[in-house]
Amino acid sequence: MEPKTILDRLADAARARVALAKQQDPPGAMRAKAETLAAAEPEKAYWFEKAIAGDGMHFICECKKASPSKGLIAPEFPYLAIAKDYEAAGASAISVLTEPQWFLGENRYLREIAGAVSIPCLRKDFTVDPYMIYEAKALGASAVLLICAILDREELKEYLAVADSLGLSAVVEAHDAQEVRMAADAGARIIGVNNRNLRDFTVDLGNCLRMRDEAPEDTLFVAESGIRTPEDIRTLEAHDIHAVLIGEQLMRAADRRAELRRLAGREKKTHLKICGLRTPSDVEAVNAAAPDFAGFIFDPSRRRYVRPEEAELLRKRLRSGIRSVGVFVNAPMEEILDVLRRCPVDAVQLHGQESDAEIEALRAARPGLFVIRAFRVDGPEDVERAEASRADLILLDHGAGGTGKTFDWSLLRHVKRPFLLAGGLSADNVAEAVRLVHPWGVDVSSSLETDGHKDAEKVKRFAAAVRAAGE
């Protein structure tokens, strides 16, 4: 007998949850509650599929605190604010995790989010009993997830009929051609293909492209997992894929609204990071320009080094909305964690030879930590290496430690993932850099200084140049 996969364990746990839920709220009462709500809101019948059926790519954005493959993603989880950010940035629907053990979801997240936004919500859970479909309707969901891998054909047909009786849409999730055909034969109107193999967690974006032809043409088709760039979105749209379900990419973003706009090709903003703050006057100059990020250098060998205790005092003086970043160069993980205890910055920036394994170990030790990894760019192979990094964001520079010199920006014209551009940027050349390579953001330090300190006028002029170029 083969050992149980994580998907098997998730399904078993869901069955145990249902058994407990039925004791607290009997099936007849839950069904009556759901049917009463459906009768009272006929205008919301099949709201979810209507929302993703129009022209263009539609975004189903996920509120997810954790996952089996990544562990804790969002230690702080302001789920209502996250959902409202998605709505404001143009999401067509919101996916809400309610699975409590591995995803740290809760039913109340769905109920409260559905009551707070004016777009439909998908209950993302492991549906193993019709009870969960009635429960989803009672919680305010407009759609449920049905996973072929944990249902047989008759169960799938039964669950689709229950959903239809309540005016609920159903996203039927498949992983291979056999499951796509199973979904189509059962009468699924929405088929979602997961690019993540839930048995070993590997991701293959091409999976949904290969499966598209297996589904009927009139099926609403959703791509799930592994979607990170606007180019991914354009590729999917060219293959007649109607919607994408995106979770971790948005949940880890420093600015979720901006990240959704970037993926949708609607982003105009170029983010600004100012590094090397050491004094209260530096903070004052930076606050006046209101960049997105401010960096503190924690490498004692660097001229702009600042002790963690001093950095913490400066961090507390940063203007609201400016995210703090700690910069390290080949520092041992114990040292990084010690600095983070003394100065809890929002992100770390690694400027050495740190490996993906070290990045993952750092995330495991500090769940939810946002990691920026810097790369020196001398040729195309360096760009390829950077794009493969497991960091949340990459920084491309002339030198790993920051040399203050420019490099051949044409090497970056085809970078497919968000990146920070650094190296020799000034108010005189940053507009040209933005127009040439369209970075997600720019990182600057030395050109904004006079006599070793941030010059308020130079900071103001640079910030103005970045914003003008970004628009």
- 381 exposure class (CB count in 10 Å sphere: 0-12, 13-18, 19+): exposed
Which class for 409: exposed (0-12), middle (13-18), buried (19 or more C-beta within 10 A)?
middle
How crowded is the C-beta side of 33, counted as CA atoms within 13 Å?
16
Supply the DSSP symbol for 42. Answer: G
CA–CA separation, 216 and 196 (whole Å): 22
Single-letter residue type at 272: L
User: Which residue in the list 129, 232, 397, 443 is annotated as catalytic?
Assistant: 397
- Smallest CA-to-CA distance from 133 within 101, 103, 102, 98 is with 98
What's the CA gap between 376 and 156, in Å, rounded? 52
Tokens of 142: 């407009």
397 in active site: yes
Question: Within 10 Å of residue 286's Cβ, how many Cβ atoms?
Answer: 27
Q: Taking the CA atoms of 80, 136, 73 and 51 in sequence, report the sign of the dihedral they define.
A: negative
Residue 276 and residue 446 in contact, taking contact as beta carbons nearer than 8 Å: yes
Measured distance CA(145)–CA(225) in Å, rounded: 15
Name the helix (H) or strand (E) containing 459: helix 456-470
Q: Which helix (H) or strand (E) holds 222?
A: strand 220-224
Instruction: From the candidates 63, 275, 292, 343, give the one annotated as an active-site residue.
Output: 275
β-strands 71-72, 370-376 pairing? unpaired
How many beta carbons lie within 10 A of that of residue 116, not counting itself?
Answer: 16
Strands 441-444 and 449-450 turn out to be: unpaired
DSSP-assigned beta bridge partners for residue 296: 326
255 is catalytic: no
In angstroms, the CA 398 to CA 237 distance is: 35
Q: Tell me which residue has tokens 């205890």.
A: 341
Which uninterrupted H or E stretch holds 6? helix 6-24
Q: Which residue reads 């992983």 in tokens?
A: 175
What CA–CA distance (Å, rounded) separates 467 from 271?
Answer: 8
Q: Round to whole Å and give the CA distance between 398 and 378.
A: 7
* Alpha-carbon span 167 to 162, nearest angstrom: 9
Contact 66, 238 (CB under 8 A): no
- What residues act catalytically? 275, 397
